[in-house]
A = this chain, B = another copy of it.
Amino acid sequence: MLENVDLTKSISKEEYDNLIEDLTIQIGDLQRKAWKMDIPVVIVFEGWHASGMTEIINRFLLTLNPMGFDLYTTGKPCYQEEQKPLIWRFWTKIPQKGSIAIFDRSWYRRAILEHNGKGKVDKNMSKCLNGLTYFERQLTDAGYLLIKFFLHISKEEQEKRYRNLKKEGIPLFIAEEEEQEYLNDYNKYLPLIEGILEKTDRASAPWTIVESEDRNFATVKVLAKVIESMKNKMQDVENDIKTTQNNHVENCIIPNIDSSILEKVDLNKSLTYKEYKKEKKICQKKIEELQYELFKNRIPLIVVFEGWDASGKGGGIRRLAQKLNPRLYRVIPVGVPSMNELARHYLWRFYNEIPEAGHIGIYDRSWYGRVLVERVEDLCNEHEWKRAYREINEFEEILSNYGTIIIKFWMHMDKQEQLKRFKQRENTSYKQWKITPDDWRNREKWNLYLSAADEMLQKTSTSWAPWTIVESNDKYYARIKIFHTVIERIEEELKQRGIQ
C-alpha cells in the first residue's frame, strides 16, 4: 500500500490558509452533530518517525471542542499494563457515545514493538493481528466510526528531517529507547508495515495513507478525510443501514434446537453433610496452595458463575474464596450496567475488570448477561445478542492467548427446588434482602431462560474456555463439584505448561 504513493503532493501556504478555516468550522459542526447522534469515533494516527505527527495532531485538536475528545499518547506499557493482554490498554480507552478518542500511535505501533522484530508478518504477529482485528470489528459492528491514518514519508525525507533536527539541536524527547531501531531502520520496517496495513485494511475500518512530505497537504488531507468519514457515517446511521451488523451472525455455529443439553442433566446427585465437610477441607487446602503456583507463574485465573436465581452461586463463591489470600483474588459481582457503561461497547466494563497476571477474578454473573438476561428481557436487540456469541468467544480467546485459565460454571437446578429456596429466603429474617420481586418475575420466564442458557452452552463452549454444568439441586454436591473442577483444571494447565 505504500509503494505507489505519490509523495510529491503539496499545496501552497495560501491555499492552505484558505482551506483551513473552512475545514475547522466543518469539523466543529460535525463534532456537535456526532454528539447529538450518539456516534462514538476512534481516530488512529500511525506513521514514520519525523513524519510530522505531533504537529498534524495538534492542528487537528485545535478544530475540536475539548469537552468531547480524549487524546491518548501510546508509549511503553506501565507495570500494570504489562499484566494484561496488549489490547486491554486500548479497550479500556474506547470513547463513550458521541465522543472522540484519538490515538497518537496505537495498537499497531505496540504490536510492532512488542510482538515482532523480524521484519515480516510471521505466525506470532498474525496471531496478534487477529486480536486487533477482533477489537476493530467489534467496535465497528457496535456502531463506532473508526478512522485510521498512516503518515508516510520516504527514507530520504526522513533522513533529511533527522539531519535538520540535529542541526537545530532539537532532541527527540518523546521517542523511547525501545523505539530506537524503528527510528533508525526504515528499510527493515517497510515490508513489515506494508504487510500489517494490508492485513488490517477492511471495508469498515480502512487505512488512509497520508502523503506527509508537505505538512500543509498532510494536515488538509487528514481534516478532509475526517470530515468525509464522519459525513458518510452519519448518512449510514440516518439510513439505518444494518449490513455490518448482519454480516457476522451467519458465522455462528448453528445450534441444534432439538437437543437440550440441560434437559439431560441428572439433578439427583447429592452428598451427605459429613462427606461434604471432609472433602471441602481437603479442597480448600489444595486451592490455597494452587493460588500461590498461579501467582508465582503469573497465570491469571477467571472463574465465572452463571445459573438460576438461588442456585447457590453466592454460596459456591464464598466457599471457593474462604481460604484464598484476599490480595490475590477478587469477587466481581455483575449487575445492572451504569450510565458510563451503557455509553460504550458492552464488553468495555469487562475489559476494565479482568484480573492481572497471577491473580484470580471470580465473577458472580458475567459478560454472559448479554445472551441471557439482556436477550430474554429485550435489553438489547436481536442483532446484538446474536453477534455476542462470537464476540464473547473472541474475548475469551484473547484472554486465553495471554495465558489466562478460564473456568465457567452453569449452576443448574429445577423449578421446584428454586421455589423451595425462594420461600426459605422469605422466611429467614437475615436472608430476606436476597429475594426481590425481580426474582419472582424472572421465574415466570423460566422456559425462555432455559433455551437461552442452552444456546449459550452450545455456542460458547470452546476448547479454550469450556463450560461445566453443575448439578445444584443439592448444595453440598454442587460446591464439591466446583472445587474439583477448579483444582483439576488448574493442575492440568500447570502440567501442560510444564510447571508441575
Within 8 A of B (CB), among A304-348: 317-318, 321-327, 330-333, 335, 338-340
A466 within 8 A of partner (CB): no
Q: How far is the CB of A230 from chain B (nearest CB, A)?
A: 16
Is B173 touching A54 in the complex (CB atoms < 8 A)? no
Q: Separation in Å of the A318 CB from the closest CB of chain B?
A: 6
Contact (A54, B325) CB under 8 Å given A32-B433, A66-B364: yes
How far does the alpha carbon of A295 sit from the alpha carbon of B318 in the complex, in Å? Answer: 49
Which A residues, 83 to 124, have Cβ-Cβ distances below 8 Å to chain B? 104
In the complex, which residues of chain B have a beta carbon less than 8 angstroms from the beta carbon of A78?
78-80
Chain B minimum-CB-distance residue to A291: B173
- Which residues 448-463 of A sit at the B interface, judged by CB distance below 8 A? none
Which of B57, B173, B326, B430 contacts A104 (CB under 8 A)? B326
Cβ of A167 under 8 Å from chain B: no
Question: How many residues of chain A get a CB closer than 8 Å to chain B's CBs?
Answer: 43
Contact present for A173 and B339 (CB under 8 Å): no
**What residues of chain B lie closer than 8 Å to A338, measured between beta carbons?**
339-340
CA distance A46 to B65 in the complex (A): 46
Query: Does A62 lie at the interface of the complex (its beta carbon under 8 Å from any beta carbon of B)?
Result: yes
Contact of B71 with A295 in the complex, beta carbons under 8 Å: no
The copy count of this chain in the complex is 2
- Are A58 and B326 within 8 A (Cβ)? yes
Question: How many angstroms between the C-alpha atoms of A73 and B325 in the bound complex?
Answer: 11
**Residues of chain A in range 60-87 having any CB-CB distance to chain B below 8 Å:** 61-62, 65-67, 71, 73, 78-80
User: CA–CA, A51 to B449, complex, Å?
Assistant: 48
Q: How far is the CA of A32 from the CA of B325 in the complex (A)?
A: 25
Contacts of A433 in B (CB 8 A): 32
CB < 8 Å: which of B29, B65, B340 contacts A430? B29
Chain B CB within 8 A of A28 CB: yes
A430 contacts across to B, CB distance below 8 A: 25, 28-29
Closest to A334 in B: B67
A276 on the B face (CB < 8 A) = no
Residue among A54, A317, A322, A327 with max Cβ neighbours from chain B (10 Å): A327
Contact, CB under 8 Å: A62 / B339: no
Q: How far does the Cβ of A6 sit from chain B's closest Cβ, in whole Å?
A: 28
- The docked-state distance in angstroms from the alpha carbon of A71 to that of B174 is 36
What is the distance, in angstroms, from A303's C-beta to the closest C-beta of chain B? 13
A318 CB contacts on chain B under 8 angstroms: 62
Give the residue of B57, B65, B317, B327 whose beta carbon is less than 8 angstroms from that of A326: B57
The reply to whether B79 and A295 contact each other, CB–CB distance below 8 Å, is no
Distance A331 CA – B69 CA, assembled complex (angstroms):
10
Q: Across the two chains, which residue of chain B brings its CB closest to A332? A: B66
Per the bound structure, the CA–CA distance linking A359 and B173 in Å amounts to 13
Determine if A495 is an interface residue (Cβ-Cβ < 8 Å).
no
For the complex of A and B, the 8 pairs showing the least CB-CB separation, nearest first, are A66-B331, A67-B333, A78-B79, A73-B327, A58-B326, A25-B430, A66-B333, A78-B78
Which residues of A does B touch, CB under 8 Å? 25, 28-29, 32, 54, 57-58, 61-62, 65-67, 71, 73, 78-80, 104, 173-174, 292, 295-296, 317-318, 321-327, 330-333, 335, 338-340, 364, 430, 433
Apart from the given pairs A58-B321, A66-B332, 18 other A-B contacts in the complex at a CB distance below 8 Å: A25-B430, A29-B430, A58-B324, A58-B325, A58-B326, A61-B326, A62-B318, A65-B333, A66-B364, A67-B333, A71-B326, A71-B330, A73-B327, A78-B80, A79-B79, A173-B296, A174-B325, A338-B339
24 contacts between A and B (CB under 8 A): A25-B430, A29-B430, A54-B325, A54-B326, A58-B321, A58-B324, A58-B325, A58-B326, A61-B321, A61-B326, A62-B318, A66-B317, A66-B332, A67-B333, A71-B330, A78-B79, A79-B79, A173-B292, A173-B296, A174-B325, A174-B327, A338-B340, A339-B339, A340-B340
